[in-house]
Amino acid sequence: MRPAPDLRLYLVTDEPQCASAGRSVLQTVVAAVAGGVTCVQLRAKDSDGGPFLAQVVEVCRAVGDHVPVIVNDRVDVFLAARELGASVAGVHIGQSDLPAPLVRALIGDDAFLGLSASTDSEIIAAQTEGACDHLGIGAVHDTATKTDAPGGLGVAGVARAASLVGLPAVAIGGVKVPDMAPLAAAGLDGGAVVSAICCAPDPRRAAAELLAAWTEGLR
């Protein structure tokens, strides 16, 4: 049985944001993990499979033995990375990606499967289906990263949604330092960030501040 990943500070990468801050995704991830990121999801919606695979392999080589590295959407990239011996930990999918039970069948029982969910029915269906290990619930705030995401639920809204089921849940969508303590206090399992790290002048320091705020919220 796979262990539950440490979801406290969950980095979701955005290549254009990293580039706008003058860094590669790899550089951003390495710095952020040094600062305290506990889980990394590589997302590259605009990349072809070849470059995305190369990114997954290089990030796994750098940090895959320290934190779980999770591939967004592309189950085939996950499988190809495994085929190459990379220490890739799992897949994260959204509601319009391949159905969770099929993804589970393809990745096997020793890989993590995360699922994005926003509505009560999506969250309850995720538990009923039984295929995924944890949820990404949001958006906490309105965000420009995912233009197809619904409006912000707020910390209280995300916490209420997460309480509907027993699955570990991480809050996502515009999460910044001031959100981390309230999310921890509200019983979430973690905060997922994109721009708070990818756009930060110093990703290592940004990660350290986010994790410290999380820990503060648990007191």
Residue whose structure tokens are 């986010």: 210
53: contact with a copy of itself by CB under 8 A:
yes
Mark 9-48 with x for binding to a copy of itself (rule: CB under 8 A) and - for no binding. Answer: ---------------------------------------x
DSSP H or E stretch at residue 10: strand 9-12
CA distance 38 to 165: 23
Candidates 95-103, 133-141, 174-182, 192-200; binding stretch for a copy of itself (CB under 8 A): 95-103
For a copy of itself, which residue of 4, 20, 50, 85 counts as binding (CB under 8 A)?
Answer: 50
Q: Of the ranges 93-101, 157-165, 186-194, 211-219, which one interacts with a copy of itself (CB under 8 A)?
A: 93-101
Under the criterion CB under 8 A, does residue 99 sit at the interface with a copy of itself?
Answer: yes
Q: Tell whether residue 147 is a contact of a copy of itself (CB under 8 A).
A: no
Is the separation of the CB atoms in 207 and 11 below 8 Å? yes
Three-state DSSP at 69 gives: strand
Among the listed residues 184, 202, 182, 206, the one whose alpha carbon sits nearest the alpha carbon of residue 193: 206
**Helix (H) or strand (E) run with residue 57 in it:** helix 49-63
Complex with a copy of itself: residue 67 or 115, whichever CB lies closer: 115
- Smallest gap from Cβ 96 to a copy of itself, in A, equals 4
Site for a copy of itself in 65-84 (CB under 8 A): 73-77, 79-80, 83-84
Q: Considering only residues 4, 19, 105, 156, which one is a binding residue for a copy of itself as defined by CB under 8 A?
A: 105
CA distance 116 to 133: 11
- Helices 154-162 and 120-129 pack at an angle, to 10 degrees, of 30
CB 63 within 8 A of CB 33: yes
Question: Contact between 153 and a copy of itself (CB under 8 A)?
Answer: no
Question: Which 8-state DSSP code applies to residue 182?
Answer: H
User: Please, are residues 126 and 117 in contact by the beta-carbon 8 Å criterion?
Assistant: yes
- Residues forming contacts to a copy of itself in the complex (CB under 8 A) are 48-51, 53, 73-77, 79-80, 83-84, 93-99, 102-103, 105-106
Residues annotated within a binding site: 41-45, 72-73, 97, 116, 143-146, 174, 194-195
